[in-house]
Amino acid sequence: MNTDKKKGEGLTIGKLIKELKKVYPDISTSKLRFLESYGLLSPKRGINKYRAYLKDDIKRINFILKMQKEFYLPLDVVKEKLKSKEFKEYMKEGKDLKNLKLDLGEDFEKEQKNKYFTHDALNKKMRLHQNLLEDLMDHNLIEYKNENGKIMINSGHVDIIKMVRELSRFGIQVKHLKMFENFAIRQSSFIQQIILPLMISSKKEHHKKGKKVALKLEKELCVLYEMLVKKENRKFLKKNK
């Protein structure tokens, strides 16, 4: 990825997305903005108020995306790794990320072996509001299981929990989010219908193509949904200005 820009110039979010797609085809402006809202990024703002991604910002983004794509780490763990010695070496010396798997330590090893957090550990780790996890489980917005009397929550859903916690600051409760799950189910069913002929084929290459099509459609439909929501909000704001 070409990141050679004049010092202080940086890339706009549009140009950065175009470069990142060469390595991460599913990246989007929404994804970068989410990482920023999560506290993982803090790009500078130009005089025109637009984000300007400098070389260190781009290296940081690459680190985050690599950790997710190759090591399947949830964002909370990635956030901790951004404070690590390995990350500082990577930023300073351009250390090869392929070698970082050996340096990720016990957190990574534990995460790979155990894909679930206990209810109590997750509550303590994320400092959640009372009954938030119970509400999410009652509304089937996160996966969990009962293991020897302990409630174990799928670690892959930490980002969902984080997002719901952020939304609660606007007075949005878990029960309000059920419509989004219903929409997600319908959207997923729509994608499944499209790729079904590929997935029921006896040919492995068809299965592989089906997975790629599913990932592509997930991304494109989410972008379309974002655009439609923005369109309706702009109409409302214009009407009530």
Range of the domain at 54: 1-113
Distance, CA of 130 to CA of 50 (rounded, Å): 38
Choosing from 94, 113, 132, the residue where a domain stops is 113
The domain total for the chain is: 3
Average pLDDT for runs of 10 along the chain of length 241:
54 89 84 86 83 88 80 72 77 56 41 67 80 88 84 84 88 89 88 90 88 88 89 91 81
Query: Are both 14 and 72 inside the same structural domain?
Result: yes
pLDDT of residue 5: 46
Q: How far is CA 141 from the centre of its chain?
A: 16
The confidence score (pLDDT) of residue 71 equals 64
CA 92 to chain centre: 26
- pLDDT value for 232: 93
* 128 touches 165 (CB < 8 A): yes
* 16 close to 53: Cβ distance less than 8 angstroms: yes
Domain C-terminal end among 97, 113, 129:
113
Residues 6+ apart with CB under 8 A from 42: 36
Q: Report yes or no on whether pTM surpasses 0.95.
A: no
Note whether 151 and 107 are within 8 A (CB): no
What's the rounded Cα separation, in Å, for the pair 193 and 29? 28
Show the DSSP H helices in the chain as ranges.
13-20, 29-37, 55-71, 75-81, 85-93, 105-113, 119-126, 132-138, 158-168, 178-199, 204-239
- Whether 164 and 221 share a structural domain: no
Residues 83 and 150 in one domain: no
Instruction: Say if residue 2 is in the same domain as residue 100.
Output: yes
Same domain flag for 107 and 125 = no
Measured CA distances, 57 to 30, 91, 149, 184 (Å) = 17, 10, 44, 32
Same domain, 124 and 193: no
Q: Domain check: are 17 and 72 in the same one?
A: yes
| Structure tokens given for 154 | 């799928």
The last residue of a domain, from among 113, 129, 148: 113
- Residue-wise DSSP of 27-54: --HHHHHHHHHTTS---EE-TTS-EEB-
Residues 107 and 124 in one domain: no
Same domain, 72 and 17: yes
Looking at the fold, whether 27 and 99 belong to one and the same domain comes out as yes
